[in-house]
Amino acid sequence: FFLSTIDIVFDVHLFFVPLGIGGWKCVAGLFVGRVGVLVEGEAVYSFAIITLNHSHAKTHCPNKPVSAVKHTSSMSHYLHQAAPSAPQFECARKPSAQTHAASLALDDETQTLDGQDKTGPVQSFQIPRELPTTFLSKYTDTNTTSNVKIEFAHGTTTLGFKFKHGVIIAVDSRATAGSYIASQTVKKVIEINPYLLGTMAGGAADCSYWERVLAMECRLHQLRNGERISVAAASKILANMVWNYKGMGLSMGTMVCGWDKTGPGLFYVDSDGTRLTNHIFSVGSGSTYAYGVLDAGYRYDLSVEEACDLGRRAIYHATHRDAYSGGQVNLYHMREEGWVKVSADDVGPLHYKYAAEKEAGMDQAADAE
């Protein structure tokens, strides 16, 4: 299969069967979308393999016979033998030694190739040959010698708490890049499946990607075992995945909540692989303000209306005091029947609503005195 947009060729070689001593025959093959290529000859491969070759070709290239084709695979080690009388077909053109050397000479900051400045697009992309944290440190504000400064500042407010009737999840919707407000409409609740929710705090890309990977793993678990995954197992899968990348620059502070056979569940998972469970959590730059409201109004026997109002009010007060939180309050209720989205309220009208309630309460207190 040839994908011209990312220049990757899949060469699939299947079903090499022996035909007597020293004789082999490919009874089926698939080479760049052509089905039914038959090759007869001496021993070519010791067994059937599937390989992935990276190609620098920009268009379809014609099949050409080669006497020996080198395949590389990080998945397994296999034997490869080639005979001149048994031609194979290859479409992926390997980069020459000169091209490879030139790509290694690409400077990250000045974008020069072979000592010449390039004003156009970068000719090739090289994956950093070092830890991502080491690679990125060259461009952050901690490096005084770099002309490129990237400030990694994250801000958000998310919260979740268990109560008599399930779990309440409330989040804001502001995304910031340093002091710049990048968006006011970010969806910070990942709907993993009808019985699982995940929240986003930290790096938006990291949280979004890994929680979508978690959604895939939860679906595979259900297909393999014939039942929904538990909240504890889902959170453990996420913690195990991100732990493998500990110290490599991930920024995640997520909550996973849901309902399974044991009832409602709420877990906290971060990018260091930390996994905690409790009845109440708040994550993000505005979490300290949200905790103040939650501690003042939380009870396990709250009604659904009271719980929703508490979550909404806590996020509002966090957005009022934390400049990195804002937008609207998205509120979810996890029930035994699955989650429902309760509301999405802009914090502007909420500000005047709560201010009016506060003023009315102060007037009543003055009249009582």
Residues tagged active-site: 156
- Give the sign of the dihedral formed by CA 129, CA 153, CA 277, CA 340: negative
Measured in degrees and rounded to the nearest 5, phi and psi for residue 268 equal: -110, 130
